[in-house]
Amino acid sequence: MAALDIAQQLKARFPEIISDPAEFRGEVTVRLSDAERITEVCAAAKKDFGFDYLVDISSVDNYGDDPRFTVVYHLYGYGHHCHLRLKTDVSEEKSELPTVCTVWRTANWHEREIYDMMGIRFRNHPDLRRILMWEGYPYFPLRKDFPLAGKPSEMPDVAFSKPAPLEGGPFVTIAGGKDRIAREPRVRIPETDALDTNARLERRKDVQEAHGHSHGPGPVETK
Amino acid sequence: MGYNSKVEGDVIVTRVDAALNWFRKNSLWPMPMGLACCAIELMAAGASRFDIARFGSEVMRFSPRQSDVMIVAGTVTYKMAMAVKRIYDQMPEPKWVIAMGACASTGGMYRSYAVLQGVDRIIPVDVYVAGCPPRPEALLDALIKLQNKVAREPILAASPNVAA
């Protein structure tokens, strides 16, 4: 059974909150408009549709857009060998989602990592604390407004951090941009970089067309 | 005083400096602070092909109380930094440090919020080894350089780690 069929069945099961499945290069994505029901949807996906393996949970910081965070669940089923990507949005004021640890135990550490790096809390998580940085670290490093070099922090007897010398870096490509010069500028100022450049570039029409439909379906249309 | 070879036999007369430093440099027991990929090359240096034991580093003691040189092999993150400092503090004098690889020397390719930019920000380093990871021969070269440094140390020198 193809992944698209299974995704269609999942949509038929939850018609108001799951969008039409989008397919790009063999990968199927569905969007969930009501993030509070994620546990219910995931439990149905595991029990009834055979997605017994949670491959990954990851989060995206859409800095500048209104639901600031998107949390992406990658599901897979050993029985039918099909992948599914499930996306939900979380706004910054809320910054909270129900946990899926009750469905897949592996979600424990993935959700801890999302809490550590992005600041999204998970309700009913058995042990929600930082996993990569140390407890008491005051920032969320993978947010777009946090500089790559880091910010100074001090916790006596536990850890300290200092900003790293970047020397004109970070030497990574900016996404989007119509030519190489826009994508790889000679000088980057890290504080202002991700804040306006990325957000501005991604919203430009020519950049969106260059992306194609790789970003999946938009918000769910309710009837 | 004369040296009567029939009586004295295999006796060498030397200075305390030279003898003590010779003993120390030829038995530098490492404390392997193997944190990341450089630890694999450290293990290779300890294995049979590149054999660090030839140089006296016979025992890779994981106990800081019984070692002379701490080989920091790998990326030191800020989370791990205090543990490295505590282990260094537990080593008895005289002690030396080899910073193996780019990450331990300067933070390496990780110019980021989570990586300490060089272990010399928290402990004094004697020899830096470049490489990512350095070849085992490079680590042995560093050990030889450290041995030369140990040989030059004056006895009864005031160590910077001893509290005044």
Q: Which is more confidently placed, B42 or B161?
A: B42
Q: Which of A129, A130, A160, A172 to mutate to test the interface with B (most CBs of B within 10 A)?
A: A160
Contacts of A133 in chain B (CB under 8 A): 79, 114
% of chain B with per-residue pLDDT over 90: 72
pLDDT tens digits, residue range A86-129?
A: 999 999 999 999 999 999 999 999 999 999 999 999 999 999 99
**Residue B154, preceding bond cis, omega within 30 degrees?**
no
Contacts of A164 in chain B (CB under 8 A): 107, 110-113, 115, 117
Q: Which of B78, B107, B111 sits opposite A161 (nearest CB)?
A: B78
Please count the other Cβ atoms lying within 10 Å of the Cβ belonging to residue B26: 13
Q: Which of A150, A160, A169 sits opposite B113 (nearest CB)?
A: A150
Low-confidence stretches of chain A (pLDDT beneath 70): 1, 168-172, 187-223
Name the nearest CA neighbour of A160 among B93, B35, B114.
B114
Mean per-residue pLDDT of chain B? 89
Q: Which of A161, A162, A172, A188 to mutate to test the interface with B (most CBs of B within 10 A)?
A: A161
Name the nearest CA neighbour of B152 among B122, B116, B129, B126.
B126
In whole angstroms, how far apart are CA A126 and each of A36, A131, A132, B92, B107? 18, 14, 17, 43, 35
CATH class of A3-157: alpha beta
CA distance B164 to A101: 55
Count of helices and strands (H, E) across chain A:
7, 9
A160 touching chain B per CB within 8 A: yes
Name the nearest CA neighbour of A164 among B103, B34, B129, B130.
B103
Burial class (CB in 10 A: 0-12, 13-18, 19+), A36: middle
Cβ pair B17, B155 in contact under 8 A:
yes
* pTM of the predicted model as reported, rounded to 2 decimal places: 0.79
The dihedrals phi and psi of B21, each to the nearest 5 degrees, come to -65, -35
Contacts of B79 in chain A (CB under 8 A): 132-134, 159
A198 HSE (CA, 13 A, CB side): 20
Domain boundaries, chain A: 3-157, 161-211
Contacts of B81 in chain A (CB under 8 A): 159-160
B117 touching chain A per CB within 8 A: yes
- Residue in B with minimal Cα distance to A142: B113
**Which tokens hold the place of B86?**
């505590």
**Chain A: nearest CA to B132, how far in angstroms?**
19
- Return the residue matching tokens 């500048």: A64
Q: How confident is the model at residue B15 (pLDDT cuts 50, 70, 90)?
A: confident
Contacts of A169 in chain B (CB under 8 A): 111
A213 touching chain B per CB within 8 A: no
Please count the other Cβ atoms lying within 10 Å of the Cβ belonging to residue A127: 10
A 128-147 residues with CB below 8 A of B?
A: 132-134, 139, 141, 146-147
**Which tokens hold the place of A120?**
């999204």
pLDDT tens digits, residue range B25-68?
A: 999 999 999 999 999 999 999 999 999 999 999 888 899 999 99
User: Is residue B159's pLDDT more than 50?
Assistant: yes
B 76-95 residues with CB below 8 A of A?
A: 78-79, 81-82
